[in-house]
Each structure stands twice: as structure tokens, then as C-alpha cells.
Amino acid sequence: MRVCAFILALLMCVAAVVPFTAVASEQVITNKDFGNYQTMDVYKFVEEFSTRFPSRIAGTETERQAAQYIKQQFETILPTEQSSVELQSINGESYNVVATLTSPVSQGYRIIIGAHYDSVLGSEGAQDNASGVAALLEIAKRLVTFDRHFDVDIVFVAFGSEELGLVGSQYFADSMSSIDVERTLMMINMDSIAGGDNLYLHCETVSNDMEKFFIANSPDYSELYVKPYSNGVVAMPSILGGYYETLLNADQAVFRAKGIPTALFISGNYSTMAWDYIESTDKSFCVMNSTSDTFANLSRRQAEFVKKIETVTDTIVNTIVAEGFITMAKNARNGLVNLDIVYSTRLPLLVKLVALIVLAVFAWRYYKKLQKNSYINKSSAQGTGNKVFVTPDADDVFDL
């Protein structure tokens, strides 16, 4: 009896000293083996989706079939008792696939995670953007394994008609009420995340807490870089409501224009051009919006393209389940650049300054011209009044 009591006391002491370790499904992922990358779900999805539904042009039958396929995938992944999956018609021609994972403790707050699924004519769209859709589905798959409720509702959206000019995301954003906008804490977009040289995160043109939170929760097995703040960004008004980025003119932009904090994951290379972006220093991997964007070409990256997709997936999942996420998300708006000030004050001031400089240059040149004319008119030659040049006499020309 005393032995049993001693053992029980010992176990209690051990329990008090050793912290509780969650079950495997609750563990965030920081490391991963890619030795058998071809057996991983994201690899299989990119291969099947891009080769089965090539040329997913907005409004075509192939795009509609691709939308149905994504819808079926979400219906398989998400538990029916706390989710909904639907097709949102975009003017009856194209569709957004919208899947919502609801939480009874969200208090109405939500985040949106998106990736477009259409492609251009003749392109399989493996890099742009079957890779993003693969991550979208994998994130949903990972999140449902966590045996707890999240602090937010999670809305997954596969956008149609992105290649026509962000038509699908614009339609979705325009369908949001002012209350929807306020309760949406952030929008995360994944576009062309697998085929570029490096993997980047872009939140704002300045550092903020949301960016730091994502980076802090990225896995150790791969590098996730913060996109250089000045590269590829042009501050100028646009049809998006005063927010424009060059290459980064992707689906997150329409949400950012509504004042919603956004994060974009994208692969490429910002190291070779100080002002902009290229996909790769190897031209054979510069395939965006071309017929060269095929699974066969992307698979030349071997495990690296799978690693990039998994890095995005694990970063987003780790971030959502991390302690302090809801606090960071609720305060994310505090880290936004004030676009109203940028575009309503600085830009007009810059335009006025440039116009003033141009006018000053023209005024100076006009003044110099008047000064020259005045000098010519006031100069005089002997016997000619105010004229500098006169008709010479014969005696002045010929020495007779």
C-alpha cells in the first residue's frame, strides 16, 4: 500500500514539473521531410488540377468545371455541421467558390483566405495559380484537425475571373456590407507561390505587427522573406479606389482598398531589380500568364515547389492557431498606411509641386528669351539708331 502511495505521489510530482504536451493534431508544424514530396497531397493536387483543367479562362465551361471540382473538395474536407460551401455567381458567367468554417466563439469576427483558380488561354496555370488553390485546400484540411474552436470564422474563397482584372474578388468584396467589412479582420491571398526563386510575404509598404506575426510563425524548414517595401509598388490612384501595386495588383488589393488588412504570399525574385520583380533569374521559370506555365515545367523545381506551398500552408495555419492571434488581428488596422492621406494630400501636393517646377522652367526660359530680344533691340551701331545690323554702303564693301 505504501509502495502504491509512493508511486502515486511520484507521478503527481512529475505531472507538476513536466508541462502538458498537446496531442499531435494540436501541434504546429515547424519541420517536415520532403524526401517523398511526390506523394504529398499538394503535389498531387497541382498535377491533377492543372492537367485536368487547362485553359481555365473566365466564363468558359472549363472554368465552371474547375469551380465545381474545388467545391467538391471543400465539401469533402469541411465538417457539414459547422460549415457551408457554395458557388457565388459572377454575373452568371464565372463563379467564386466560397467555403465557410464557422465558430461558435467567433463573436462575428472572420478572416478571408483566398486564391484565384482561373488561368489564361493555353496555360495549365500550374504556378499561376493551381499552387495557390492547393495551399487553400490544404489549409482547410489542416485546420479541421484541430480539436477546438477558433476565435474567428474562416472564409475560404477560390476566386474566378482574376485574369480579367480581379473581377471575381472585386465582385465578392462589393457584395460585402459595411458590417461585413468591419468584422473582417484580415484577408490573406496566395498567388503563384511555387515557381519563383524565393517566397515572399507582403502586407504593407511599411513594417507592421501583422507581418511580424506571420514571420514569427513560419516553419523552420524553408525561408519566407518580407518583400522589399519599395519594390513593385506604385503609389497612385486607380480604379481600385486609390490603391495600386504593379505586380502585386492581385486579389488582396480590392480588400485593402476597403480598409481591410491584407497579406499576400507570392514567389519570385526581388533581388535582381531594384525597382520591380521577376519570377526567376532562370528565364525558363518566368512563365506567368503564358503557355509555358505547365505542371511539367513547374515539376522541374522538384521538392522546392512543394516546399514553398507547404511553407505558405504551415505559416498561415501556425499563425491562426498561435496564442495572441485574435489580439493581433483585431489591432491589424492600426498598422495600415493611411491611403486617404497618401492620395488626398501627398499626391495632389506632389502634382502641384511638379507643375510649379515645370511652370518655373518655362517662365525662366521665356524670361531669358525676352532678355535676349531686349538686348538686341537696345543695342545700336553708329549711324543706325537702334539697329545693330544695317545695309552696308558700297564704300564699306569695296576698297575702290
State residue 12's pLDDT score: 43
Same domain, 241 and 353: no
Last residue within a domain, chosen from 310, 336, 362: 336
Same domain, 110 and 145: yes
State residue 20's pLDDT score: 30
Q: How many CB atoms lie within 10 A of CB 92?
A: 7
Q: Establish if 15 belongs to a structural domain.
A: no
Mean pLDDT within 226-231: 81
* CB contact at 8 A, 273 and 186: no
Q: What is the pLDDT of residues 293-342, one digit of tens each?
A: 999 999 999 999 999 999 999 999 999 999 999 999 999 999 988 765 55
Name the pLDDT band for 376 (thresholds 50, 70, 90): low
State residue 57's pLDDT score: 97
Same domain, 269 and 375: no
Distances (CA, A) of 138 to 80, 94, 110, 126: 17, 24, 19, 16
Name the pLDDT band for 275 (thresholds 50, 70, 90): low
Mean pLDDT within 115-131: 98
Same domain, 314 and 363: no
Name the pLDDT band for 137 (thresholds 50, 70, 90): very high
Q: How many CB atoms lie within 10 A of CB 176?
A: 16
Q: What is the pLDDT of residues 72-100, one digit of tens each?
A: 999 999 998 889 999 999 988 899 999 99
Same domain, 258 and 366: no
Q: Check whether 54 has a pLDDT greater than 80.
A: yes
Q: Establish if 383 belongs to a structural domain.
A: yes
362 Ramachandran zone, left/alpha/beta (phi>0; psi -120 to 50)? alpha
Residue 34 is part of a domain; what is its CATH number?
3.40.630.10
26-40, 99-113, 150-164: range with lowest mean pLDDT: 26-40
Higher-confidence residue of 77 and 236: namely 77
Q: What is the pLDDT of residues 94-121, one digit of tens each?
A: 999 999 999 999 999 999 999 999 999 9
State residue 365's pLDDT score: 80
Same domain, 363 and 215: no
Name the pLDDT band for 395 (thresholds 50, 70, 90): low
Q: Establish if 255 belongs to a structural domain.
A: yes
State residue 17's pLDDT score: 37
* Residue from 191, 198, 202, 200 nearest 289 by CA: 191
State residue 1's pLDDT score: 46
Q: What is the pLDDT of residues 345-361, one digit of tens each?
A: 444 455 567 777 888 88
Same domain, 206 and 350: no
Q: Establish if 11 belongs to a structural domain.
A: no
**Helical (H) or strand (E) element with 297:** helix 295-298
State residue 358's pLDDT score: 84
Q: Check whether 174 has a pLDDT greater than 90.
A: yes
Q: Check whether 283 has a pLDDT greater than 50.
A: yes
State the total domains in the chain.
2
State residue 168's pLDDT score: 97
Q: Check whether 244 has a pLDDT greater than 90.
A: no
CA pseudo-torsion sign 237, 193, 331, 255: positive
Its domain, for residue 143, covers: 26-336
CA pseudo-torsion sign 142, 144, 150, 153: positive
Q: Check whether 363 has a pLDDT greater than 50.
A: yes
Same domain, 182 and 209: yes
State residue 27's pLDDT score: 56
Same domain, 355 and 332: no
Q: Establish if 10 belongs to a structural domain.
A: no
**What is the side-by-side strand order in the sheet with 153-159?**
83-90, 94-101, 153-159, 110-116, 184-190, 262-268, 198-202, 225-226
Q: Establish if 388 belongs to a structural domain.
A: yes
State residue 375's pLDDT score: 57
Amino acid at residue number 20: F
Same domain, 234 and 360: no
What percentage of residues in the chain have a pLDDT greater than 90?
64
